[in-house]
Amino acid sequence: MLGAVCGLVIGLRAHPATAWAAAIELGLPATALGALVGLVIGLIAGALVRRRDGRASVRG
């Protein structure tokens, strides 16, 4: 959301007729990057919790 707002503001300052395109050009990559960073942090946090609780080893 923040990337789309930044893109809109930058687009309005640069060329108002194409501000919508700037919002997409900045908003989509910002969303993808945020999702990727959130995924990595979530995986790391989950692994740390499992390790702390002793559930990291698989016993068969």
pLDDT digits over 14-31, tens only?
888 988 888 888 888 988
Residue with tokens 């007729």: 17
Q: Is residue 58 part of a domain?
A: no
Banded model confidence at residue 33, pLDDT cuts 50, 70, 90: very high
Q: Is residue 31 part of a domain?
A: yes
Looking at the whole model, is its pTM more than 0.75? no
Domains held by the chain: number: 1
| Domain carrying residue 47 | 2-53
Q: Is residue 59 part of a domain?
A: no
- Give one DSSP letter per residue of 17-51, joined into a string: GGHHHHHHHHHHHHHHHHHHHHHHHHHHHHHHHHH
Q: Greater confidence, 39 or 52?
A: 39
Given this model, what pLDDT does residue 25 score? 86
Res 42 pLDDT > 70: yes
Q: Is residue 60 part of a domain?
A: no
Res 54 pLDDT > 80: no
